[in-house]
Amino acid sequence: MKLKHLLCLGILFSVEQVLAQKQLTKYVDPYIGSAAHGHVFVGANVPFGAVQLGPTNVFEGWDWCSGYNYASNTIIGFAHTHLSGTGIGDLNDILVMPATGPSQLDYVSTFSHDKEVVKAGYYSVILDKYKIKAELTTSERVGFHRYTFEKGAKNPHVMLDLNAGVGWDSPVETYVKQVDATTIVGYRLSKGWANDQRLYFAVKLSQPLNSLSLSDSTSFSSNGKELKGKRVKAVLNFKSINQDILKLKVGLSPVSYENAMTNLIAEIPAWDFDKVARLADQKWEKELSKVKIEADEETKKTFYTSLYHTMIAPSVFDDVNGDYRGTDKKVYHKPGFTNYTTFSLWDTYRAYHPLFTFLHQDKVSDVVNSFLAIYKQQGKLPVWHLMGNETNTMIGYHAVPIIVDAYLKGFKGFDANLAYEAMKHSAMQKVEGIEYAQEIKYIPSDKIIESVAKGLEYAIDDWCIAQMAKAMNKTEDYNYFSKRAKLYSEYFDKQSQFMRGKLQDGNWRTPFNPIASKHREDDYTEGNAWQYTWLVPQDPEGLISLFGGDAPFTKKLDTLFSMSSAMDAGSSPDISGLVGQYAQGNEPNHHIPYLYAYAGQPWKTADLVRQITDSLYTNKPDGLCGNEDLGQMSSWYVFSAMGFYPVNPANGAYVFGSPIINDAVISLPGNKKFHIKVNANSKENKYIQKILLNGKPYTKSYLRHKDLVAGGELTLFMGNKPSATWGVNPADRPRSVAIE
Amino acid sequence: MKLKHLLCLGILFSVEQVLAQKQLTKYVDPYIGSAAHGHVFVGANVPFGAVQLGPTNVFEGWDWCSGYNYASNTIIGFAHTHLSGTGIGDLNDILVMPATGPSQLDYVSTFSHDKEVVKAGYYSVILDKYKIKAELTTSERVGFHRYTFEKGAKNPHVMLDLNAGVGWDSPVETYVKQVDATTIVGYRLSKGWANDQRLYFAVKLSQPLNSLSLSDSTSFSSNGKELKGKRVKAVLNFKSINQDILKLKVGLSPVSYENAMTNLIAEIPAWDFDKVARLADQKWEKELSKVKIEADEETKKTFYTSLYHTMIAPSVFDDVNGDYRGTDKKVYHKPGFTNYTTFSLWDTYRAYHPLFTFLHQDKVSDVVNSFLAIYKQQGKLPVWHLMGNETNTMIGYHAVPIIVDAYLKGFKGFDANLAYEAMKHSAMQKVEGIEYAQEIKYIPSDKIIESVAKGLEYAIDDWCIAQMAKAMNKTEDYNYFSKRAKLYSEYFDKQSQFMRGKLQDGNWRTPFNPIASKHREDDYTEGNAWQYTWLVPQDPEGLISLFGGDAPFTKKLDTLFSMSSAMDAGSSPDISGLVGQYAQGNEPNHHIPYLYAYAGQPWKTADLVRQITDSLYTNKPDGLCGNEDLGQMSSWYVFSAMGFYPVNPANGAYVFGSPIINDAVISLPGNKKFHIKVNANSKENKYIQKILLNGKPYTKSYLRHKDLVAGGELTLFMGNKPSATWGVNPADRPRSVAIE
């Protein structure tokens, strides 16, 4: 007993020590990206946690996809799930609102940001209307609420609202049951962007409730301890609040409310709110400290908030005992991996998952295993997966680059043969124009909508399959998919030098306007010809030769970045963050600034990276120039700030740009560290002059993943003029092959 | 030209004169009843107008049935239709919100009451978020908006939201079309409490719009001039606002948007907002001045606001050309009467419609004709009719007392034979226990829910049919319905002296608790045995004899009003405004205080009327103790304040209570006036001592309708002690017959 006691004290002491240092979480500002179109989640969560517990505003439209936007001053309650950065709204399930006075069917209070505290793992606000201080923190699967009421508050109560949800979301069946005076359980089955979402919960109260009022329509009745219905709401009434503080723990589960209770008891067994908040902070601190940078304070704020934003999704989608509910709605026990959900793959395959392969090496195989489980359950790899549902949002089969990148980078924790089968299945579907690629043909724009974007994205995925086929010695497949990987060239109109819609008869679609874009109605996907012409990250050399060489290629790129940003009316709202016609706000653009490196003009990449990080990533609430898209926008920044970017999503190479930080230490498994030293970095000194890797001259204009994860020291020497030699020599430029 | 010009000046001058007097509208405070459970409409309308144009808050539950509650500080827009005082939410159609900045799918701004102006026919508020002053006024079928923007406001625009609606309301099909740069038309078909609501609109703008953005889901597109869909929203964009003032006129029609435009042009042809606001004020002034009272200022405020609340519904439900859409959804042309809708008959048959028979004599036949048109179109008389839809809310066939009251009071503008047929149809339906009454049997409480309430209400309606049968010399029917009118006695348990649920086997239902009430789950309708035992307004003498005479009857009444107000948990929220177990907040109670008069103790009625008017009708926002119920709560006050009340809804007699006013002049058609003089009235002098009618002693404790509408002078002499003689003599007491 004594030893255990001392041990506890010891642990607490070290917790306090960590908090005292408080190096990195203090740089996280969850407001960044919460205004305008960033759509990030604001509230309390832990890295990759199933619970995202935060305020839900009155819905005001697209900019409320997460449920919260900085422009609002209303709160209707605190929901346990929120999306972060999507362009479609959903979730905001299990809404809880503390209140006083007469009970209602719906609640809304105003609040002001000066009475709000937003931190990694902690959120608090004063609800003006009810004079209640609400504080929120979480573990992975449990939300923890602490409500401080005014002394002697009248009719204190808590609304548990199973009707509320954001966007298309609407409840299908909801259920509440009072188990005893301090325990409520239930579930919410809903239909929305996620077509069949099932969420179970268990609530523990810090004091017994006085009565429970249940409603399924417009009025409450207080007879009965349980209610099943389409839109059940429960009001938990208290005679008075002990010492004015009421605490609630809410466990979630995709499986059952029994499991939700198991999660609750396992993760937050006691009632020490401050301790749980400290633990949440520590979990963030641990993750953030995987990259320790030196930079000015403003840059640190932007950098660590970006890093924080890369750890909200995917989120764990299982219980502490390993149970999870598959896409087939069956419950799986002990699957042997941690199941994840919320995969925005069209966005995240580009840089988010490459970043994941060195920052979260322990989770890479779990993500691939989650993909493969989905493949077995729904018959195809995930496209855009949300809470155990395939939403089929966006285009491509972009689970492929993620799997191939993992495989080529040496992750072995999954069944490579099954993975290969699953990828090949995706590529052999007879839908969405993929059938044309199968015959080594372009997709006719008069047959298939968004034909150019689809053709280009498929070619990327097919290049990846080819690389895995090669690595698995499947030569025939390698040859076949390599041909498909070259199909991008079919869309290139040599005369106009644009990727264009081609009709079945072989003619280019007319009229053609390279700045025109009609959302979901033309040959591109949230973009125009200026933006899509560059979407060949798997083969920039091939693209350069289509243009006729480096000179015409870079001339066209120069125009892209310097021309007018004017666009036709009716353009997609996703085209934002413009530099010329380049749109940092939308993902198919993200690699374009780095293409100069392939043409031997890396200083232009440097110019652009500095311009974009300076002007389009700020540490203000409107600091993101487009949807965060579950970490992709922030991954672009994290990579670029460190000085490189994964143009090809699966070739194990990161193309140099211009580092923003002055120093960075990336912590790797096995106590390895990769140390990036930047010599003489400044606003003016933005051009890399030379590089040393582990003390030896390094002339390539790209960094190999294998060198990074091996640990070591990279020194970048900066100067205020483009280097005449570094990165210029064709032999040193990035290459369109899987780097050995 | 010159003459016309002078004429115009002349008219304007007289308008100003009227305004300068401003006798009565200044006493109207639309806030009264807008807090707590009053549920009144707040906004701009004219008497019985189709348009109720006012703010819509974020919905917060039952107390937002009208769309607005004083407790809120949010506005999501200004809708053109609102219910006033219901216990179920609906309407709030055609929501308009002015804004600045980026356009959104939904809007919410905070506001404060100190920046709000609420008047009869006019509403204004400052929208905090957009810094816009919004002013609203209306004619009968047209809403008029005047928005004053901040100088140089960025991206000024107006949202036209066809998705929004209150309560169960949800859109089914919506449509917007831009006709030209200043004209928008469309419709909103919705499903809610009104199952198939069809509302057409036409909008005229004071300046051309720059562009129109249309949305049917989550994003906007600005190509196209029209859109049909489930939840269409349109944003009207303006480059800038001429002189910062934008005006909109919005015509409504139940028939077509062409008719909506016809209404717009006919009712508000020009752009003079102030003039239309003055006209709205005048319309209210004209109606309010039908009863000119002398009383203290506080009483005047309560009285005239009550009178105002009796003229919100029913509302006209036709076009200026007479067209309307029937319950059968067919369009009727030139029907020969003004069609009305929104009939909350279970509430309003009690006092609202009797009040209507002398204050709005020109409209009585129109109301009956609206009932008869509904009968022809839907096959039965209206029960609770809303916007051309039968909602079948509440119990009884209470169109009957209204028709009979009109007939017996001499209104001849409808087909009495058809009316009789329709009423008899209602009474001969084989549903809801009516089939038992047809066999002169009680309704078994183990067969039919709310059996006691139904049995009692049916008996009232059947008594009314009997009186009309008698007047039409249908002796057989008279005898038959007179028997049915007596069936109330079947529910009276002589032992407990309560109206109780009786089982099919003849036993009383047990267990029995006279203060118990379970909303929609017991033998009563929003009430308990204490409240329902008195529901025999058609035959109080019969009820008194069931009790065994005046003494036990008044003893029980004394207990009702003096006992504890405690009630079982789970009671209906409609039971409110308690004096003992008497509930002023719910309509089946309303006649009870006046029952003492039938037992020769009119001073106890006086005591209660004073207590209720003093404590349960105040001129504060929470001044109504229950749902306003479309004028019934206020009609109780208007009647009681004048000194009498129609206990029997159709016998042409008003039972005296205790006048609150010191003097009242009721203006009647043909320049007749009925002058109520109250001598020596005061807080203490609440007891009527004697009465003179047209100078002659009047000993009855009830006033005859025919004497009132004939015009004349009634003088009430008040004293501080109950009179030992007035109203005591059995021959002078009110009687349960149709008064000749």
* Distance (Å) from the alpha carbon of B52 to chain A's nearest alpha carbon: 23
Q: How many CA atoms lie within 13 A of A264 on its CB side?
A: 25
* Distance (Å) from the alpha carbon of B62 to chain A's nearest alpha carbon: 6
Neighbours of A620 (CB within 10 A): 15
Per-residue confidence (pLDDT) for residue A3, from 0 to 100 = 41
Contact A58 B518 (CB under 8 A): no
B104 touches chain A (CB under 8 A): yes
Beta strands A157-161 and A95-99 are antiparallel
Of B439, B405, B441, the closest CA to residue B423 belongs to B405
Number of H-type helices and E-type strands within chain A: 18, 38
In a domain, B655, yes or no: no
Contact A76 B58 (CB under 8 A): yes
Contact A61 B110 (CB under 8 A): no
Contact A60 B108 (CB under 8 A): yes
Which residues from B are below 8 Å from A63, CB to CB? 102, 104
Give the domain CATH number at A48: 2.70.98.10
Three-state SS sequence of A115-138: HEEEECCEEEEEECCCCEEEEEEE
Alpha helices, DSSP H only, in A310-360? 345-348, 352-359
| CA distances, A102 to each of A253, B33, B410, B711 (Å) | 32, 16, 47, 47
Please give the structure tokens belonging to residue A73: 């001053």
B105 touches chain A (CB under 8 A): yes
In a domain, A605, yes or no: no
In tens, the pLDDT along A621-680 reads: 999 999 999 999 999 999 999 999 999 999 999 999 999 999 999 999 999 999 999 999
From B380, B412, B429, give the residue that closes a domain: B429
A38 touches chain B (CB under 8 A): no
In tens, the pLDDT along A258-317 reads: 999 999 999 999 999 999 999 999 999 999 999 999 999 999 999 999 999 999 999 999
Same domain, A232 and A364: no
Which residues from A are below 8 Å from B518, CB to CB? 221, 223
In a domain, A345, yes or no: yes
pTM, to two decimals: 0.85
Same domain, B443 and B416: no
Give the domain CATH number at B372: 1.20.1050.60
Rounded CA separation B402/A110 (Å): 46
* Distance (Å) from the alpha carbon of B222 to chain A's nearest alpha carbon: 6
Q: Report the number of distinct structural domains present in chain B.
A: 3
Among the partner residues A60, A108, A222, nearest to B104 by beta-carbon distance: A60
Q: In a mutagenesis test of the A interface, which of B57, B65, B73 is the best target, namely the one with the most A β-carbons within 10 Å?
A: B73
Q: DSSP strand E in B306-379: where? A: 315-316, 324-325, 331-332, 340-341, 343-344
Per-residue confidence (pLDDT) for residue B220, from 0 to 100 = 63
Same domain, A281 and A346: no
| CA dihedral for B90, B92, B93, B99, sign (positive or negative) | negative
Q: Which domain holds residue B105?
A: 29-288
From B288, B306, B337, give the residue that closes a domain: B288
* Distance (Å) from the alpha carbon of B425 to chain A's nearest alpha carbon: 32
* CA-CA-CA-CA dihedral for A705, A706, A710, A714, to nearest 10: -50
Same domain, B97 and B72: yes
Contact B74 A58 (CB under 8 A): yes
Of A664, A122, A316, A71, the closest CA to residue B130 belongs to A71
Rounded CA separation A54/A122 (Å): 9
From B381, B408, B429, give the residue that closes a domain: B429
Contact B60 A518 (CB under 8 A): no
In tens, the pLDDT along B205-250 reads: 999 999 999 988 655 666 679 999 989 999 999 999 999 999 999 9
Instruction: Note whether A628 and A33 are within 8 A (CB).
Output: yes
Per-residue confidence (pLDDT) for residue A219, from 0 to 100 = 58
Measured between CA atoms, the residue of chain A closest to residue B128 is A73
Neighbours of A352 (CB within 10 A): 29
B473: left (phi over 0), alpha (psi -120 to 50) or beta: left
Q: Which amino acid is at A617?
A: Y
A573 touches chain B (CB under 8 A): yes
In tens, the pLDDT along A347-359 reads: 999 999 999 999 9
Q: Which residues of chain B have pLDDT under 50?
A: 1-16, 18-20
Please give the structure tokens belonging to residue A497: 């030098």
Same domain, B123 and B263: yes
Among the partner residues B110, B218, B219, nearest to A73 by beta-carbon distance: B110
Model confidence band, residue A521 (pLDDT cutoffs 50, 70, 90): confident
Contact B61 A221 (CB under 8 A): no
Contact B106 A63 (CB under 8 A): no
Same domain, B266 and B129: yes
A61 touches chain B (CB under 8 A): yes
In a domain, A113, yes or no: yes
A106 touches chain B (CB under 8 A): yes
Per-residue confidence (pLDDT) for residue A19, from 0 to 100 = 47
A203 in helix, strand or coil? strand
| Burial of B695 (C-beta count, 10 Å sphere; 0-12/13-18/19+) | exposed
A positions 502-521 inside 8 Å of B (CB): 518-519
In tens, the pLDDT along B238-292 reads: 999 999 999 999 999 999 999 999 999 999 999 999 999 999 999 999 999 999 9
Per-residue confidence (pLDDT) for residue B20, from 0 to 100 = 46
Same domain, B208 and B335: no
Among the partner residues A63, A74, A218, nearest to B62 by beta-carbon distance: A218
Contact B88 A211 (CB under 8 A): no
Of B587, B314, B643, the closest CA to residue B460 belongs to B587
Rounded CA separation A534/A530 (Å): 8
Among the partner residues A89, A104, A570, nearest to B61 by beta-carbon distance: A104
Rounded CA separation B675/B707 (Å): 11
In a domain, A32, yes or no: yes
B688 in helix, strand or coil? strand
Which residues from B are below 8 Å from A220, CB to CB? 573
pLDDT of A330 strictly over 50: yes
In a domain, B645, yes or no: no
Chain centroid to Cα B670, Å, comes to 27
Same domain, A283 and A340: no
Among the partner residues A89, A107, A222, nearest to B60 by beta-carbon distance: A107
Rounded CA separation B221/B213 (Å): 6
Contact A223 B569 (CB under 8 A): yes
A59 touches chain B (CB under 8 A): yes
Same domain, A219 and A161: yes
Among the partner residues A107, A222, A570, nearest to B223 by beta-carbon distance: A570
**φ/ψ of residue A321, rounded to 5:** -90, 5
Measured between CA atoms, the residue of chain B closest to residue A222 is B570
Q: DSSP strand E in B620-705: where? A: 644-645, 653-656, 663-668, 672-679, 687-693, 696-697, 702-704
Among the partner residues B64, B107, B219, nearest to A519 by beta-carbon distance: B219
In tens, the pLDDT along A464-477 reads: 999 999 999 999 99
**φ/ψ of residue B394, rounded to 5:** 65, -170
Instruction: Note whether A280 and A120 are within 8 A (CB).
Output: yes
Same domain, A246 and A363: no
Average predicted confidence (pLDDT) for chain A:
94
Is the backbone peptide bond immediately before A47 cis, with ω within 30 degrees of 0?
no
Question: ∠ at Cα B609 (B603, B612), nearest 5°?
Answer: 140
A positions 64-103 inside 8 Å of B (CB): 64, 72-74, 76, 88-89, 102
Q: DSSP strand E in A254-304: where? A: 291-294
Contact B518 A110 (CB under 8 A): no
Which residues from B are below 8 Å from A575, CB to CB? none
Per-residue confidence (pLDDT) for residue B4, from 0 to 100 = 43
Please give the structure tokens belonging to residue A547: 């243009």
Rounded CA separation A565/A577 (Å): 10
Which residues from A are below 8 Å from B222, CB to CB? 569-570
The rounded radius of gyration (Å) of the Cα atoms in chain B is 26
Measured between CA atoms, the residue of chain A closest to residue B37 is A102
Contact A218 B88 (CB under 8 A): yes
Measured between CA atoms, the residue of chain A closest to residue B59 is A106
Q: At what angle do helices A361-378 and A416-427 cross, to 10 degrees?
A: 60
Per-residue confidence (pLDDT) for residue B221, from 0 to 100 = 65
Per-residue confidence (pLDDT) for residue A249, from 0 to 100 = 98
A219 touches chain B (CB under 8 A): yes
Same domain, B413 and B454: no
In a domain, B706, yes or no: no
B164 touches chain A (CB under 8 A): no
Instruction: Note whether B166 and B56 are within 8 A (CB).
Output: yes
* Distance (Å) from the alpha carbon of A221 to chain B's nearest alpha carbon: 6
Same domain, B377 and B455: no
pLDDT of A221 strictly over 70: no
Rounded CA separation B119/B30 (Å): 6
In tens, the pLDDT along A525-575 reads: 999 999 999 999 999 999 999 999 999 999 999 999 999 998 776 677 778
Please give the structure tokens belonging to residue A663: 């120093």
Please give the structure tokens belonging to residue A56: 């839900």
Of A100, A103, A84, the closest CA to residue A92 belongs to A84
In a domain, B121, yes or no: yes
Which residues from B are below 8 Å from A61, CB to CB? 104-106, 218
Interface size, chain A vs chain B, as Cβ–Cβ contacts under 8 Å:
90
Instruction: Note whether A138 and A146 are within 8 A (CB).
Output: no
A221 touches chain B (CB under 8 A): yes
Which residues from A are below 8 Å from B36, CB to CB? 102
Contact A569 B222 (CB under 8 A): yes
In tens, the pLDDT along A700-735 reads: 999 999 999 999 999 999 999 999 999 999 999 999
Please give the structure tokens belonging to residue B638: 């208007």
